[in-house]
């Protein structure tokens, strides 16, 4: 009895201690107040975001803050004005200056006590702008001045899409949808040149619309191998000038973005398009992406259930340096210098000595010419990856981000279709995307897309602690065609994903942010918060008619404040063009949701 009595009398002291210990170990929580699906015309024209977020029991107000819109005058610069190789404004056919509305990735860089952003404009020619910002006591950011990055030393910039910030505080950009070098080489007249390529000639002062522009003139200024690379921008805080380096060593592809892992050596690169690959680069030296080994993913499917799962391995594409590849580009190496070609027979077979592949550029029979391994791996990266046995069947591979607590890499596949099916397109039989290829991926079609989680761990052979070994679908959209009612015309469930694009992770809070790039899936594109523990999806932003959500990117602590970057690309430009009442509203938005309290872990 005495022993029990003493234990009971001690309880009033012990319980508060235990409660305090439990409180200290409580799981951090973060919950956004949801935003409804826009149903009225007014709502469909607005940028609408969560009015608040509750973090560890405390509620904080949020709003959408615009840093700049396309065409804004900031100091001596015009935000989004396209410039040519001489730094002069690019002109439209009517003689007006071309201001891009295709705002895309926007970084925040803290440098020597100053704050800068680097912004992408996803055009041809492309542009990046360095903008100096101020930050007030409440964390609100204001643009002071802006100036374009000069890309003349690297042949100009092509279609910069998404990006990331390196651990050493530089901007890591991209070049998407590079030209098909074989098609450019084999063209007979200017009519054979893809119209998507022609606007780039404006960068060199050759108007692509000119009727007398010859094929020779086009080829004299346009080298397809100059584009498709990771592009690193270093900003000088003293002058606000951005200096670009194209990382040819990392390979050429339809680069959505390159994402550097915590070791500062391992980099994942997503490849946007149809029948594309997934790539891994391991730099020789931490913080220096100018030299290293390149790898391409091999998908070995283990399940087609619940969105799909696979074992992942990596095919070695060899070592390369920026300098060595740049020399090949400057020497004007052509597709014919790298590969021999042959006609593919019925059934997808090739003559002896040739290898069948099926990539973004279609089904082909190729033979690598002697000594051209470096050129093939860095200038024809996707073709060479397939040639070496890697998987090139992914459809619309987009954003990538890392969850350090669970060692998971998240990658968005905007659509699970075409090459990702088994000799089909949208569930209907087709051999276009698998004929001649490896047919590694055999999943049910899902036009609404999915985000996949990759297990990350050490790989001694590759020499990195951040190598993906397995993957499985984490969260997927659900096809749902709304015939009538307030959601009429939507083809994906409005309470789920429609074509996930860029993603970012909030460390410590089990929260994955997912942006959309959708057409008919959702009339208005959304950004979502996804709780990876509970599976709950919360809609946290809706954007105007015809726009795309770009650049959701998390900054946990910028001088004591957190920011969720959010850019709205080409309002009224991808659909619902007829809804535009005032041309000024077609300008893109560069801004952020916040400010948040600092969530630095």
Instruction: For residues 295-313, give the mean pLDDT.
Output: 98
**Confidence check: pLDDT of 2 > 50:** no
Instruction: For residues 301-329, give the mean pLDDT.
Output: 98
Interatomic CA distance for residues 402 and 390, integer angstroms = 23
Instruction: For residues 402-429, give the mean pLDDT.
Output: 98
| Residue 214 pLDDT class (50, 70, 90 cuts) | confident
In contact, 85 and 156? CB cutoff 8 Å: yes
**Confidence check: pLDDT of 1 > 50:** no
DSSP 441: -
Interatomic CA distance for residues 173 and 301, integer angstroms = 31
Going by C-beta distance under 8 Å and a sequence separation of 6 or more, which residues neighbour residue 330? none
Interatomic CA distance for residues 428 and 399, integer angstroms = 28
Q: Give per-residue pLDDT as tens, 142-196.
A: 999 999 999 999 999 999 999 999 999 999 999 999 999 999 999 999 999 999 9
| Residue 12 pLDDT class (50, 70, 90 cuts) | very low
Going by C-beta distance under 8 Å and a sequence separation of 6 or more, which residues neighbour residue 44? 38, 523, 524, 544, 545, 579
339: enclosing H helix or E strand: strand 339-342
Q: Give per-residue pLDDT as tens, 130-141.
A: 999 999 999 999
Q: If DSSP codes are grouped into helix, strand and coil, which group holds residue 283?
A: strand
In contact, 433 and 275? CB cutoff 8 Å: yes
Weakest-pLDDT range from 3-17, 240-254, 507-521: 3-17
At residue 38, the pLDDT reads: 98
Q: Give per-residue pLDDT as tens, 552-590.
A: 999 999 999 999 999 999 999 999 999 999 999 999 999
Q: Where are the domains of the chain?
A: 2-179+222-597
Interatomic CA distance for residues 292 and 265, integer angstroms = 9
Phi, psi angles (nearest 5°) of residue 327: -65, -40
Comparing CA positions, the residue from 391, 343, 334 lying closest to residue 366 is 343
Tell me what the pLDDT averaged over the chain comes to. 94
Phi, psi angles (nearest 5°) of residue 105: -55, 140
| Residue 600 pLDDT class (50, 70, 90 cuts) | confident
- Residue that is written with structure tokens 């946007």 in the block: 272
**Confidence check: pLDDT of 212 > 70:** no
| Residue 7 pLDDT class (50, 70, 90 cuts) | very low
Comparing CA positions, the residue from 506, 511, 439, 509 lying closest to residue 475 is 511
In contact, 319 and 293? CB cutoff 8 Å: yes
What percent of the chain lies above the pLDDT cut of 70? 95
In contact, 513 and 538? CB cutoff 8 Å: no
Q: Give per-residue pLDDT as tens, 56-92.
A: 999 999 999 999 999 999 999 999 999 999 999 999 9
At residue 207, the pLDDT reads: 64
22: enclosing H helix or E strand: helix 2-24
Comparing CA positions, the residue from 415, 520, 388, 530 lying closest to residue 477 is 415
DSSP 158: -
**Confidence check: pLDDT of 442 > 80:** yes
> Burial level of 144, CB count in 10 A (0-12/13-18/19+)?
middle
Going by C-beta distance under 8 Å and a sequence separation of 6 or more, which residues neighbour residue 95? none
In contact, 569 and 104? CB cutoff 8 Å: yes
Weakest-pLDDT range from 6-10, 34-38, 329-333: 6-10
Interatomic CA distance for residues 573 and 569, integer angstroms = 8
| Residue 601 pLDDT class (50, 70, 90 cuts) | confident
**Confidence check: pLDDT of 13 > 60:** no
Assigned token pair, 333 = 């190496």
Cα-trace Rg, the chain: 25
Interatomic CA distance for residues 133 and 235, integer angstroms = 13
Q: In this structure, is the dihedral angle defined by the CA atoms of residues 272, 277, 282 and 284, taken in order, positive or negative?
A: negative
| Residue 208 pLDDT class (50, 70, 90 cuts) | low
Comparing CA positions, the residue from 314, 267, 256, 275 lying closest to residue 460 is 314
Q: CA angle, 333 as apex, 126 and 224 as ends, to 5°?
A: 20
At residue 209, the pLDDT reads: 53
Interatomic CA distance for residues 339 and 57, integer angstroms = 61
Interatomic CA distance for residues 316 and 293, integer angstroms = 8
Assigned token pair, 420 = 């990702």
Going by C-beta distance under 8 Å and a sequence separation of 6 or more, which residues neighbour residue 312? 297, 298, 299, 300, 454, 468, 469, 470, 471
């Amino acid at each position: 009895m005495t022993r029990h009595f003493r234990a009971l009398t001690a309880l009033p002291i012990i319980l508060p201690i235990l409660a305090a210990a439990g409180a200290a170990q409580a799981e951090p929580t973060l919950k956004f107040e949801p935003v409804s699906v826009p149903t009225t015309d007014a709502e469909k024209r607005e940028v609408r975001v969560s009015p608040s977020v509750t973090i560890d029991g405390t509620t904080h107000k949020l709003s959408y803050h615009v840093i700049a819109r396309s065409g804004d005058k900031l100091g001596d610069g015009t935000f989004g004005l396209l410039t040519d190789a001489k730094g002069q404004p690019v002109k439209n056919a009517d003689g007006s200056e071309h201001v891009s509305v295709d705002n895309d990735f926007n970084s925040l860089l803290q440098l020597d006590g100053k704050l800068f952003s680097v912004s992408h404009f996803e055009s041809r020619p492309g542009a990046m702008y360095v903008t100096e910002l101020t930050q007030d006591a409440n964390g609100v950011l204001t643009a002071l001045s802006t100036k374009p990055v000069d890309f003349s030393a690297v042949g100009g910039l092509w279609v910069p899409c998404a990006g990331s910030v390196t651990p050493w505080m530089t901007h890591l950009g991209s070049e998407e949808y590079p030209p098909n070098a074989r098609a450019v080489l084999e063209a007979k007249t200017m009519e054979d040149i893809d119209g998507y390529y022609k606007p780039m000639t404006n960068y060199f002062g050759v108007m692509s619309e000119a009727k007398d522009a010859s094929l020779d003139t086009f080829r004299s200024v346009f080298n397809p191998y100059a584009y498709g690379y990771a592009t690193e921008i270093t900003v000088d805080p003293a002058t606000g000038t951005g200096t670009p380096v194209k990382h040819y060593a990392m390979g050429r592809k339809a680069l959505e973005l390159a994402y550097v892992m915590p070791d500062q050596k391992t980099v994942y690169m997503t490849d946007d398009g149809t029948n594309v690959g997934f790539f891994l680069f391991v730099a020789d030296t931490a913080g220096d992406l100018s030299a290293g080994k390149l790898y391409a993913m091999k998908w070995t499917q283990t399940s087609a259930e619940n969105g799909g799962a696979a074992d992942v391995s990596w095919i070695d594409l060899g070592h390369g340096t920026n300098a060595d590849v740049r020399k090949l580009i400057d020497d004007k190496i052509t597709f014919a210098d790298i590969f021999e070609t042959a006609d593919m027979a019925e059934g997808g077979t090739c003559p002896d000595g040739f290898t069948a592949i099926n990539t973004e550029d279609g089904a082909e029979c190729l033979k690598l010419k002697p000594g051209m391994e470096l050129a093939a791996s860095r200038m024809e990266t996707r073709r060479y990856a397939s040639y070496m046995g890697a998987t090139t069947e992914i459809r619309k591979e987009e954003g990538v981000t890392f969850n350090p607590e669970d060692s998971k890499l998240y990658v968005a596949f905007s659509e699970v279709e075409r090459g990702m099916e088994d000799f089909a397109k949208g569930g209907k039989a087709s051999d276009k995307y698998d004929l001649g290829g490896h047919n590694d991926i055999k999943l049910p079609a899902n036009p609404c897309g999915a985000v996949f989680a990759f297990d990350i761990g050490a790989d001694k052979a590759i020499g990195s602690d951040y190598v993906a070994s397995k993957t499985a679908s984490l969260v997927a959209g659900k096809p749902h065609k709304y015939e009538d009612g307030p959601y009429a015309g939507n083809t994906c469930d409005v309470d789920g994903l429609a074509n996930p694009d860029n993603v970012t992770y909030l460390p410590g809070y089990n929260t994955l942010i997912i942006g959309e790039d959708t057409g008919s899936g959702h009339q208005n594109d959304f950004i979502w918060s996804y709780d990876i523990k509970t599976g709950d999806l919360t809609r946290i932003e809706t954007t105007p008619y015809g726009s795309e959500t770009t650049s959701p990117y998390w900054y946990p602590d910028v001088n004591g404040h957190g920011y969720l970057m959010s850019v709205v690309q080409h309002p009224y430009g991808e659909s619902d063009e007829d809804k535009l009442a005032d041309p000024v509203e077609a300008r893109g938005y560069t801004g952020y949701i916040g400010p948040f309290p600092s969530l630095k872990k």
